Structure 1
Amino acid sequence: MYLFLVLNLNTLWVAVSIAMQHGHYDMCKTQTKSDEGIVWEYMACQPESKDMTQYLKVRLDPPNSTCGDPPEPFCAMGNPYMCNNECDASTKELAHPSELMFDSEGRNPSTFWQSVTWKNYPTPLQINITLSWNKTIELTQNIAITFESGRPEKMILEKSLDYGVTWQPYQFYAADCLDAFRMEPKSVKDLTANTVLDIICTEEYSTGYAAHAKTISFEIKDRFAIFAGPRLHNMASLYSQLDTTKNLRDFFTVTDLRIRLLKPATGATFVDERNLGRYFYAISDIKIYGRCKCNLHANSCTFTNNRLACDCEHNTTGQDCERCKKQFQGQAWSPGSYLTIPKGTANICDPSIAFIGNCYCYGHSNRCTYIEIVNTAVCVGCRHNTRGQHCEKCKKSFHRNGSAKLDDVNVCIANVCDNELLRCQNGGVCHNNMRCQCLPGYTGILCEKPKCEETGGCSSKSGQESIPHNLYLTTMIIVARLCTL
């Protein structure tokens, strides 16, 4: 039985090691040997990459840019002079709604979204298609947009990292980059490690009606290859860059994408104003592969209540596992590392720091309570004559033993005064390191009280402390009482 267990553990460890060597760092933990026996070893987590179009919401601007309401004729895509086709939103067989950009392909005839025609020429035919997840997404493969019509002569792909509040260009597409955007044409293959984040304009995808040239791409993998090699065989190198370069991580991260269609394919240098029904946009398929961004604290992502959320581990919480749970906030939250142990770490929100008394309370308490209004944890029931938020102070009538560490059970001893520290007040003198000898008129353990207070003969003080009246002071009183238990 023991041999069987060892063989299986060895097999598991070999499998994990091989997976790590190939860059598959999406396991959260594995069993390994240590001096204490078989233990769990935590590491970074990543949900699997999948087709993210099944979770998105699409919005068109202007909202009436889909053809068919009212019905209108358009020209055949293969023959722009045959204009007897019709788009009619009220008839299923003739309708081309936006959801047909994301349905299953392979059917004949193919299904596609289609815009209104350019019947209002020379007014620009410009349409924005916004894709939103209400969740941060990390792109893992090329974005592919397949046009049923000719590919646009002018288009911009944009991204947002703040749920559509602000937008940045991802890539420009044009038949003539200089004319359309005042940019020199480039290819992603021209980029280097120093220019990998450059925004470029490409002319590679802006041809006319060629049947074999319908797809526009945003090349994620070519940018990965700059660090991981042409066949992505060295993913560890890419992960090392992602681990240390926030701008690189953010480049492949989005909450929303926007396709800005600025000019349809004309197939010529001029627009045929006699056949404006031949100009429109039609998209049959959009593919976007990625994973939920969970800050390397989850290996799965759940779609519930029409929303994606990470299944957080490592004592983290939030839609993106972006903070520690309440009982685990003793140190600052941090994302996990892409690198494997020992170079990387899962950065677990460690309960031994924020919740378990043996460490956080210096061993003088094993209970804590969380005071939400001041966002702090407080030790409860401090022992060994200690008090304070972390049991780091001594109770009244006890003082700190300078030769003992904070976690020593003898850290607070019963001498009430100390000649060296001069703890006696109001001119009192410490006698035999045991008690204060007070001057006439004063009393108390440390000679801290005027004797007149005992008889009520002291004159009243102006400016006496008022009763705490705001919530913060009230909370501090509660904390102080808890700390002296």
Structure 2
Amino acid sequence: MLWLFAFTLQAASVSLVYAMQHYPSGWGHYDVCKSQIYTEEGLAWDYMACQPEATDMTKYLRVTLDPPNITCGDPPETYCALENPYMCNNECDALTEELAHPPELMFDFEGRNPTTFWQSTSWKKYPKPLQVNITLSWNKTIELTDDIVLTFESGRPEQMVLEKSLDYGRTWTPYQFYATDCLDAFTMEPKTVKDLTQRTLLDIICTEDYSRGYVWKNDKTVRFEIKDRFALFAGPRLHNMASLYGQLDTTKNLRDFFTITDLRVRLLKPATGATMVDENNLSRYFYAISDIKVQGRCKCNLHANSCVFDKGKLGCECEHNTTGPDCSRCKKHYHGRAWSVGSYLPIPKGTANICDNTPFFNKHRSLPVLPVPLLPFPIFSLSFFSTARVCDNAMLRCQNGGTCHHHQRCLCSPGFTGVLCEDLRRCSGSSPPTGSAPVLAAAVVVMFYDYVI
């Protein structure tokens, strides 16, 4: 049996080392919300910050195009190749499955032969701009964890803007501008993500890296670099995630930068392959996208480790006594302290900041003082209540003459008066007067206080 134990221990050690080596690539694990631990009082819950696993978010989006009739095939159309204006053997016909190029082909399985892709109508109304808005909506707040990558089947656009929304498409802000000439297109100096620093990470830049010249078959992608921005805090190989987590915990603007509800790709000018547009061959100019990758996770405010897609909608499976699509509020009867987002720190478990079901525990305010009515008989205990000594989940033991009331708070035991408060003063040992009236009056006060809370 000893050799079996040693083998199991060795396997566990290897697994732990492997997990630690791959820790940065997944933003850390944080895949457990709570676990049971042994205390002096017995089994109790140990709560941890947790989040869903990163995944391909394009499986859950809804795509819309503006204008809605911009997809090719109605009526059928023939296209020429950009690099060869005399090669015009590409057809688009919405009524023929093999020749149709609907928007959903931007998100299907890659690797098919021939490649599947969405395609716009050609620039047949030149010189009127050929412009398309592609909006990706999740109806859920998500956090980006990897680069956004668009793969074009045609040439990459000469002008394009990537935009984000945090309010379900009501307002939009730019993520990045793309152009063959940033000064001419957007009156912006060209930059790359390598020009950014920790202080300028949130700057909106225009890059020329993905728009110059005709794009050959092995170079068709346009990126919005997420990981390069992470690396400004976590290091080139994302080895110092604690630094990034610390920044995300303390800088709301930084968290919001990587958080979205919607993305919008604004295609403003197609690839032309030359400085001048050939007006005699406008079927050469169009947009075609074979793949869009968006890697991320549901935003659950570090209060859930899973997110489900039910009835066409994403939602966090909330833990820590929280609720809502993003676990952004406390459940009913769990408002003992104000809701708070979980914290990544300290690594590796973080801080759960659970919603508490003890109404008397609130780190932000003192216990309210209730007026005590004048009664014709002495009351042996009207000030039962504790602002500090809670006994939820048997984690804390009542001291100095106290007993645990409803597994929630420490009260003075019968036969004692006084308060169990932060300085842990003893309940005084005076016995209650005989008769049931004082006990009834005390019970009324307790019931009234419970009702008010």
| TM-score higher than 0.5 | yes
Distance in 2 between residues matched to 1:167 and 1:404, nearest whole Å: 54
Distance 1:411 1:250, change over 3 A: farther
**1:99-144 Cα shifts (integer Å, max 9, x gaps):** 0000111111101000010000000001000000000010000000
8 Å Cα contact 1:74/1:278 also seen in 2 = yes
Matched, 1:227 2:227: no
Match of 1:248 among 249, 254, 258: 254
Match of 2:117 among 82, 95, 112: 112
User: Counterpart of 2:122 in structure 1: which amino acid?
Assistant: T
Distance 1:37 1:290, change over 3 A: same
Match of 2:194 in 1: 189
Moved more, 87-96 or 248-257: 87-96
CA drift of 1:302 comes to: 0.3
Match of 2:149 among 125, 137, 144: 144
CA drift of 1:19 comes to: 5.3
Alignment of structure 1 residues 19-34 onto 2, 5 Å = 22=23, 24-28=28-32, 29-32=34-37, 34=39
Distance 1:392 1:323, change over 3 A: farther
Distance 1:31 1:76, change over 3 A: same
Distance 1:403 1:248, change over 3 A: closer
Distance in 2 between residues matched to 1:175 and 1:250, nearest whole Å: 29
User: Relative contact order (C-alpha < 8 Å, sep 6+): which is higher?
Assistant: 2
Match of 2:298 among 270, 281, 292: 292
Match of 1:171 among 176, 180, 186: 176
Alignment of structure 1 residues 366-381 onto 2, 5 Å = none
Match of 1:237 in 2: 243
Distance in 1 between residues matched to 2:318 and 2:98, nearest whole Å: 44
User: Counterpart of 2:297 in structure 1: which amino acid?
Assistant: R
Matched, 1:269 2:240: no
**1:270-322 Cα shifts (integer Å, max 9, x gaps):** 10000000000000000100000000000000000000000100011111101
Matched, 1:328 2:334: yes
CA drift of 1:350 comes to: 1.8
Distance in 2 between residues matched to 1:278 and 1:233, nearest whole Å: 46
- What TM-score comes out, normalization by structure 2 length? 0.77
Match of 1:130 among 120, 135, 138: 135
8 Å Cα contact 1:399/1:412 also seen in 2 = no
8 Å Cα contact 2:51/2:303 also seen in 1 = yes
Match of 2:436 in 1: none
Matched, 1:47 2:61: no
8 Å Cα contact 1:175/1:206 also seen in 2 = yes
CA drift of 1:87 comes to: 1.1
Match of 1:91 in 2: 96
Match of 1:59 in 2: 64
Distance in 1 between residues matched to 2:267 and 2:89, nearest whole Å: 25
Match of 1:380 in 2: none
Report the 3-state secondary structure (helix = DSSP H, G, I; strand = E; otherwise coil) of the residue aligned with 1:290.
Answer: strand
Distance in 1 between residues matched to 2:20 and 2:341, nearest whole Å: 19
CA drift of 1:80 comes to: 3.0
Distance 1:304 1:392, change over 3 A: farther
Match of 1:279 in 2: 285
CA drift of 1:18 comes to: 8.3
- Rg larger in structure: 1
8 Å Cα contact 2:242/2:347 also seen in 1 = no
Distance 1:392 1:287, change over 3 A: farther
Report the 3-state secondary structure (helix = DSSP H, G, I; strand = E; otherwise coil) of the residue aligned with 2:68.
Answer: coil
Match of 1:309 in 2: 315
Distance in 1 between residues matched to 2:354 and 2:14, nearest whole Å: 24
Alignment of structure 1 residues 194-213 onto 2, 5 Å = 194-207=199-212, 208-213=214-219
RMSD: 3.4
Distance 1:140 1:82, change over 3 A: same
Distance in 2 between residues matched to 1:32 and 1:483, nearest whole Å: 33
Report the 3-state secondary structure (helix = DSSP H, G, I; strand = E; otherwise coil) of the residue aligned with 2:183.
Answer: helix
Alignment of structure 1 residues 432-443 onto 2, 5 Å = none
Distance in 2 between residues matched to 1:87 and 1:323, nearest whole Å: 50
Same amino acid, percent of matched pairs: 66
8 Å Cα contact 1:316/1:322 also seen in 2 = yes
CA drift of 1:404 comes to: 7.8
Distance in 2 between residues matched to 1:481 and 1:237, nearest whole Å: 45
Distance in 1 between residues matched to 2:330 and 2:343, nearest whole Å: 16
Structure 2 residues without counterparts, runs of 5 or longer = 362-366, 387-410, 419-432, 434-446
**1:66-96 Cα shifts (integer Å, max 9, x gaps):** 0111112211355232224221111111110
Distance in 2 between residues matched to 1:125 and 1:310, nearest whole Å: 40
- What TM-score comes out, normalization by structure 1 length? 0.72
Report the 3-state secondary structure (helix = DSSP H, G, I; strand = E; otherwise coil) of the residue aligned with 1:159.
Answer: strand
Matched, 1:408 2:412: yes
Distance in 2 between residues matched to 1:350 and 1:237, nearest whole Å: 29
8 Å Cα contact 1:27/1:299 also seen in 2 = yes
Distance 1:123 1:405, change over 3 A: closer
